[in-house]
Chain A
């Protein structure tokens, strides 16, 4: 009589009628086919109102972890498929920047960068900084760009900016080739310090994630913030020892370098490349501040998250 299950229909109709009702579906197959338990993300979900407050729900992030991988993969693939020059672009940006700064600070103004040749010094700082700046910029725009996803399907929104940071890491890896070439050219000898390199990359990634999440969340709400962003990152770069060494910073401005987490990370990154001793105090302060920024960012992002779909 109607679109009912065999269970419902067989109660009212003789068996022949049931079979006639649904000829498209082979009932025998249906019954016998073992139903694989779907790899369900959640069995029971409670959707609470906006008034119920912020839930960090970190377990959920773990459940959806594969999505982070696929979103990152998408960002990488799309980037390298769309651009004509593909990989080359990732190299050209730091290369030209280093050339400019080398010209300014090595030819016109003489900067003392210790035993390290200036181009190598600047490139090591710039690589990490450009990764940070690009990751923050991309995560800031990511939510607005992915508005069609956000308004249609639920998943932890945090993964969208996080994927931008993840994709940035791949760019960093590619651009690192440039550093290797330059290192060979200047005959840099690696020490055991190099083993700590991934730690500083990770710290920078976490800092980028923290700042990116904050900036992304606020940008959804206050659209004009994105105009301020390039300006802010520019200022931040000049406030960090990217193209100049910390040693030239006057004593009364030293505190700025210390509270700037990017400074400690960049110096540490350089030290692990060159084998110079680490400034553990600075590195620890940077680590603490980075984690603090990240925790605040996650909290604020979660708070804003609920309204993204309504305002984006």
Chain B
């Protein structure tokens, strides 16, 4: 496989803290020269260093679509800045085979006082296009942005949506061999987003390399075959998206697909009930962090009943990443409904059918309560488990062939029918 990007032992150090930002004043420099001989006497010089990236090694082949995921501050943007040559690595080396373009900062170089036409040329040139190239693509860029009528208007009169559309169009026509993309997909309306994704697909079809940076797990798993996880400036995982999801969930949601409390006194609960284990279970019975949107998934709660004679109801509430409560579910099965339980260990399982949840990260809050005769909350664990529902544009889930973002907290696969309303007498 031919390489597109080769990153060798790249580290980046930033000076942070101290008394001032990166720049200093000339006065301070002069003062520094005078006091320099004495400074060694003091410990430290007010600067702290931060290694935004440390010893990154990564090889990306031509035509690969690689997702880069990580929390804020993990080093994603520093890495992209180095790749786009905005800043240099402190140590190490990067080799790029082909022109690199980015959709990270759409609208770079746009000037509000210039017209759409002028900005296309300016921004195109800044992004590395030749004048002849812009001339050739000009009509295409304008058509893509759907701003034909406003192309001679100063962009300061544009709405933010128009502005982004024009900016994106320029960037999208750069035709780089290596394309870096950020959360640009979050801009514009759904139709425009789809256009962007198509463009990305297009670029991919031409055998170009794409780096897709996001903290949107759903988008990454939907689009990429290879995902690199950055944590604290280091690559902690590089491989299959599903594997990465597991690690990312456990670090971002502070919980994973399995939660156990080996020591009963420390487990959530009271003198009646203590939780023992909560896990996310696939059909086959194994614990999973990643679930295909079409497959059912079960949450299994194991708990000890320490005091007999209570009517107990396991409850699970589901929240998505945005913190929206999706639904809660109670155990209403017949065998323990209204029946006081003997002491012992129980496992309650609830199955969520496939084609119900929308894709994304889900968190389950688990409780054991009794509401007969009075409502008592015996055990409650917030964020007991988390899992990721992934969707793929394979055509047989509710998204069909659509590859863009779909709103909504549920995504049922519903029955659609479309009939051809042919009037009998209009037949030819």
Contact = CB atoms under 8 A, between A and B. Distances in A.
B394 A309 contact: no
A49 B22 contact: no
B111 A47 contact: no
Interface residues of A, number: 64
A251 interface: no
Contacts of A43: 97-99
A195 interface: no
A150 B111 CA distance: 14
Interface string A214-229: 0000101111110010
B86 A3 contact: no
Contacts of A221: 23-24
Interface string A65-79: 011011101100110
Contacts, number: 187
A152 B104 contact: yes
A48 interface: yes
A1 B395 CA distance: 8
A93 interface: no
B3 to A, nearest CB: 11
B87 A309 contact: yes
A82 interface: yes
A1 to B, nearest CB: 5
Residue in B29, B88, B127, B223 whose Cβ sees the most chain A Cβ within 10 Å: B88
Contacts of A30: 202, 205-206
A209 B281 CA distance: 68
A149 interface: yes
Given A153-B126, A153-B127, A49 B108 contact: no
B23 A49 contact: no
B108 A148 contact: yes
Interface in A236-288: none
Residue in B21, B22, B95, B392 whose Cβ sees the most chain A Cβ within 10 Å: B22
A23 interface: yes
Contacts of B100: 45
B205 A1 contact: no
Given A81-B113, A225-B26, A22 B88 contact: no
Residue in B23, B25, B136 whose Cβ sees the most chain A Cβ within 10 Å: B23
Interface string B195-223: 00010011011110000000000000011
Interface in A103-161: 148-155
Nearest to A67: B125
A10 interface: no
B97 to A, nearest CB: 6
A310 B207 CA distance: 34
Contact of A222 (B14, B26, B98): B26
Interface stretch (B77-85, B267-275, B300-308, B379-387): B77-85
B88 A5 contact: no
Contact of B86 (A2, A23, A51, A309): A309
B39 interface: no
B175 interface: yes
A155 B108 CA distance: 12
A1 B397 CA distance: 11
Contacts of A17: 395
Given A25-B198, A47-B93, A78-B111, A70 B98 contact: no
B172 to A, nearest CB: 13
A35 interface: yes
A51 B29 contact: no
Interface string A295-312: 000000000001101111
A219 B222 CA distance: 47
B108 A20 contact: no
A4 to B, nearest CB: 7
Contacts of B136: 36
B282 interface: no
B92 interface: yes
A21 interface: yes
Interface string A1-30: 111111000000000010011111100001
Contact of B90 (A50, A77, A218, A220): A50
A307 B400 CA distance: 48
Interface string B55-76: 0000000010100000000000
Given A50-B90, A155-B128, A78 B114 contact: yes
B393 A38 contact: no
Contacts of B95: 44-47
Interface in A39-92: 39-51, 64, 66-67, 69-71, 73-74, 77-78, 81-82
Given A25-B198, A149-B126, A47 B23 contact: no
Contacts of B24: 221-223
Nearest to B27: A224
Contact of A49 (B81, B92, B125, B175): B92
B238 interface: no
B145 to A, nearest CB: 18
Residue in B129, B132, B224 whose Cβ sees the most chain A Cβ within 10 Å: B129
A306 B87 contact: yes
B96 A47 contact: yes
B121 interface: yes
A154 B86 contact: yes
A153 B84 contact: yes
A39 B114 CA distance: 25
Contacts of A228: 26
B22 A21 contact: no
The 3 A-B residue pairs with the shortest CB-CB distance, nearest first, are A311-B22, A154-B85, A222-B26
12 contacts: A3-B65, A21-B401, A43-B98, A49-B90, A50-B88, A70-B122, A71-B125, A148-B108, A152-B104, A152-B108, A154-B85, A311-B21
Interface of B: 10, 14, 21-27, 29, 63, 65, 81-100, 102, 104-105, 108-109, 111, 113-114, 118, 121-122, 125-133, 136, 175-177, 194, 198, 201-202, 204-207, 222-225, 392-395, 401, 403
Given A40-B99, A70-B122, A70-B131, 4 more contacts: A20-B395, A47-B83, A49-B91, A69-B125
